[in-house]
Amino acid sequence: MLFFKNKNPIDFIIAGLGNPGQKYDKNRHNAGFNALDYISGRAGIEIKKLKHMSKTGTGVIAGKKVLLLKPQTFMNNSGEAIADAMRFYRITPEQVLVIFDDVSLEVGKIRIRRSGSDGGHNGIKSIIRHLGTQDFPRVKIGVGQKPENYTELADWVLSDMSVNERNLICRKYDNIFDAVCLIINGDTEKAMQEYN
């Protein structure tokens, strides 16, 4: 009897959103990048290979073969990179998990969704446009609402988080990792119940 290996080397793409470059590292808009860095460290997956307009790394998380992806297209064009990787690996939008910042949530709050609108987030807007659907799972990380002294939302999300704000988010990284494990194994409902 012959056994054939699964031709698709990837079960799931896990994309963290942000802007490339050191000057953006501590920005609120880079919460997705930062969370993915934690996930990569915990899973022992290096994100260093340049592919699909992104920094990428492949490995196994919770028994699933994953591609960790940090688009280098800048936030507003994140969809280009993710769509390119999807086409290459021939996977569906339901196999793409996106982690990103959300200004409608208090700092450090997590919200998991199976799908949804862009909510005014330009990175998600780009992904929806390039994928042709909003039906992909996501993990939102709260970075807090724009204060009144900020005129433009862009100025707020591109500003650095305080040490306290970063600590509040860092405390949730274990929960984010555990939620990711549930989602990629098809248990998004349980992830929502436990971590929303």
DSSP-derived 3-state class of residue 189: helix
E-only strand ranges, 19-127? 49-51, 54-61, 64-71, 96-102, 110-113
Cα 129 to Cα 50: distance, rounded to the nearest angstrom: 23
29 a catalytic residue: yes
DSSP tag of 187:
-
Is residue 126 a contact partner of residue 77, using CB atoms and an 8 Å limit? yes
Contact 43, 67 (CB under 8 A): no
Which residues is 68 bridged to in the sheet?
14, 57
Q: Which residue type is seen at 119?
A: G
Name the burial class of residue 181, with classes exposed (0-12), middle (13-18) and buried (19+) by CB atoms within 10 angstroms of its CB: middle
CA distance 70 to 55: 5
Distance CA 184, CA 21 (A): 29
Catalytic residue numbers read 29
